[in-house]
Structure 1
Amino acid sequence: MTNICDDDQFAVDGAKIGDTLRIRLPNDFTVRNGTALATQDTAEKYTSLALQTQKGVDVAFSSAERALKLDDYSERVLLPMMNNLAGSVAADLMSGVEGGACNFVSLVDGSGNITNPTSQTVLQAQATLNDNSAPMSPGRKVVQDPWTEANLVNTLSGLFNPSQAISEQYRTGTMKNALGFDFFMDQTVVKHTTGSFTAGTVNGASQTGTTIAVNAITGTLAQGDIITFAGVFAVNRVTKQTTGKLRQFVLTAPAANGATSLSIYPALIPSNAGAAVQYQTVDVSPANSAAISLVNKPGEIYRKNFAYAPEAITLATADLVLPKGVHEAARRNYDGISLRMITDYVVATDQLATRLDIIYGYRYIRPEWLCVVADKI
């Protein structure tokens, strides 16, 4: 689902790097016209990823139960332990979309309410990723709620698709590969509740960065809400030319009724008097008193499915220490994810206690390479 890093640097005695990885982000440059040399600095950017979350599942059985009553211990005990642990990690990872996805597409009805996505919605997500210069297919994915999957399978079943693909969708009831994406179902897709925001304006012209001064807003904005500023258009991240569509920004922190500043992503980085600049995100800064708008109705609840390039998100795990002098100890790495299991004897209760652990961290390192595909609830 994401870029996964199982970093063995964390486990090297005498050469530990602490609990934080530094991740280099892609460089960006402007293009010269003509023959005259116009050098520019390589302004490299970095982000960090901390491995600070440890989760585990623990069970205990008496020595008599372990010896006499538990058949197929791995299948009946260990497999459900791993499944529930993986589900908890997935829910944590998925929660990052709240404040970590700044693009949004939806299909709406005549009253402006979000409705079920169709092939058009998925293709709009594809176009959004292209405008943001996300790595091209193959490899792009859509993660969707089970109910969104049901809606899309039904919607796309009548399209002109290869008969084998249609047959597989019909046989399994799941989306496979279509419209430039691999589709995956996940029960932990976020159900987002939009704030009650109804009005707000920018306080001061020529603002840049990720904190924007505003006149006291009416209503609330939730972390993960997506907004636009009047007259501020997105640019293609390669050409720096306007896409003709308003730049969307995600709230990285909630804003209360009457708030006078908003925390947003991406940063407002306009052109310099019309000339392209490195890492440019918009054509111009919002004007003083420019209106702020939600991309959907206030108070609306929807499923926050998302399309993305895998390079947008990084999950890192580290090998936990295998202690000596215990009954059992094992560590396995699968697809870059490291899990450790330890069983030890508890003499006071005549039990064998088993613990399954993972230590990990994740980061939405390139949020512009994700696009929310909203679905009504």
Structure 2
Amino acid sequence: MNQVRNAERIMRGVGELFLNSMKFANNVNRSYSDEFAKEGGKVGYTVNARLPQRYRVNKGQALVISPVNDNIVPITITDQAHIGLEFSMASLTLEIEDYKKRYIAPAVEALVNQLDFDGLQRMYQEVWNTVGTPGVVPGSTGTLPQAAMAPYLAANTKLTSFGIGVAGRIAILSPAMHASLMSGVSQLFSPASQIASNFKTGMFGGAALGIEEWYMDQNLAVHTVGALGGAPQVNGAGQTGTTLLVKNATANVVGFWKKGDVIQLTGVYGVNSMNYQSIGILQDFVVQADVDTTAGGLATVSIKPALSTSGTSQTVNAGAADSAPITTFGHVSAYANLPSPQGLIYNPDAFACVMVDLEMPGGVWAAERIRNKALGIAVRFVKAYSVMTDQSPARLDIMYGWKAVRPEMAVRVAS
């Protein structure tokens, strides 16, 4: 009984540590699904999320019915992550607080780091809106403070132009991006309290530049641009959907484009999601799988968002013309093979992290889990005993899945 009570006390501490340690996962639409509470979830299970409807306004007395499309996004549970611990029975004489501090807290920190790492590595590849320049940390060149602020202001401009609300925007930057921004804007007039906080912590924080919260995260993904080459063009007018035919690229190139590269089609502009009018900014498309070119310099590219010129799913003002030039991150080939840390500016509803219960095993010394639907967390703690070695193995487990449910509500900042 005492072991069970101890497990309960340990798990109360785990929940608090989880919430205090998360950065990216704490600033997305995080939810816990209780549908697996009894039997436990398994990798491969799915949880469905429903997206808001999109409508087009009609004018005139005659009623025009807008179709209602139930847009359901499945979120697949992809990962079970755990930390394994083993103690001698002598070490278990520690007080609970010492036990949590020495063993449980570092384990929780490592689990949370993995959760954030997985999210940042995967989610950026689903986001098409992009600002910044691969290979150039914002503010490291150009006239300060304008150069330090420009990409973040441009990100806000894109989000607002596409009809995304201004409230609650989050920024997650690499340490180098964060340091360059803080150094670049230090000469600006700012509230004294914010200057003092920035000086003490070495971090740019608080609401600024239209962004509500700023975070620095070493887990930020580093994207390597494809090999590129030639002068790629659209191969055939009137293309729609998520597949783009390309010509005039350098022949026989493996990895011409890499998954996560962002391309633009000359003459194809994005539209506002509310009024469906052109915003005057070239639409970004993110490449969904590595692309190789043929002996004739041709390629077939899987892209998001879909090329759509009408209806409630409209994404662009017009289709691309035949032979329209294609750029990558705004240039034909200047950024070939460059590594580029990918910052994110986003509304929390752009991404979802779902955690589910794991099955509770029987026949162990102690087993406990915490789950909270409101906070969106589920963690399992299991402890056993080996009579042969006088050791007590234990493990902390989480099971989760990530999904970019509304990637249009995010912008990547290339650096």
TM-score, normalized by length of structure 2?
0.82
SS for the counterpart of 2:90 is helix
**Residue number in structure 2 paired with 1:156:** 185
Q: Tell me if 1:260 matches 2:299.
A: yes
SS for the counterpart of 2:189 is coil
Letter matched to residue 352 of structure 2: T
Letter matched to residue 248 of structure 1: D
- Structural mapping, 1:263-342, within 5 Å: 263-271=302-310, 277-296=311-330, 297-333=335-371, 335-342=375-382
Shift of 1:15: 12
**Mean Cα deviation higher: 221-230 or 345-354:** 345-354
Cα 1:21–1:175 change in 2 (3 A) is same
Counterpart CA distance in 2 for 1:307 and 1:251 is 19
1:217 maps to which of 226, 249, 258: 249
**Residue number in structure 2 paired with 1:90:** 116
- Runs ≥4 in structure 1, deviation > 6 angstroms? 68-71
**Mean Cα deviation higher: 340-349 or 262-271:** 340-349
Cα 1:81–1:135 change in 2 (3 A) is same
1:3-34 Cα deviation digits (max 9, x unpaired): 01111122146999x92111112211112133
**Mean Cα deviation higher: 29-38 or 150-159:** 29-38
Shift of 1:107: 5.6
- List runs of 5+ in structure 1 lacking aligned partners: 272-276
Shift of 1:46: 1.7
1:97-128 Cα deviation digits (max 9, x unpaired): 342110111168xxxx6342422211111111
Shift of 1:82: 0.8
SS for the counterpart of 2:105 is helix
Shift of 1:351: 1.1
Cα 1:59–1:216 change in 2 (3 A) is farther
Shift of 1:43: 2.4
Answer whether contact 2:40 2:360 (CA < 8 A) is retained: no
Cα 1:175–1:333 change in 2 (3 A) is farther
Counterpart CA distance in 2 for 1:153 and 1:284 is 40
Answer whether contact 1:339 1:357 (CA < 8 A) is retained: yes
Structure with more of its chain in helix, by fraction: 2
**Residue number in structure 2 paired with 1:141:** 170
**Residue number in structure 2 paired with 1:183:** 214
1:3 maps to which of 8, 21, 29: 29
Cα 1:124–1:62 change in 2 (3 A) is same
Letter matched to residue 75 of structure 1: K
Answer whether contact 1:317 1:360 (CA < 8 A) is retained: yes
Counterpart CA distance in 1 for 2:112 and 2:314 is 38
Shift of 1:333: 4.0
**Mean Cα deviation higher: 22-31 or 311-320:** 22-31
Counterpart CA distance in 1 for 2:288 and 2:150 is 28
1:309-355 Cα deviation digits (max 9, x unpaired): 00000000012233343222222247322111111002332210011
Letter matched to residue 50 of structure 2: R
TM-score, normalized by length of structure 1?
0.90
Answer whether contact 2:271 2:279 (CA < 8 A) is retained: yes
Counterpart CA distance in 1 for 2:200 and 2:96 is 36
SS for the counterpart of 2:234 is coil
Cα 1:234–1:340 change in 2 (3 A) is same
Shift of 1:206: 1.1
| CA RMSD of superposed structures (Å) | 2.4
Counterpart CA distance in 2 for 1:75 and 1:115 is 37
Counterpart CA distance in 1 for 2:289 and 2:163 is 26
1:234 maps to which of 270, 273, 280: 270
Counterpart CA distance in 1 for 2:367 and 2:312 is 51
Q: Give the count of matched residue pairs.
A: 364
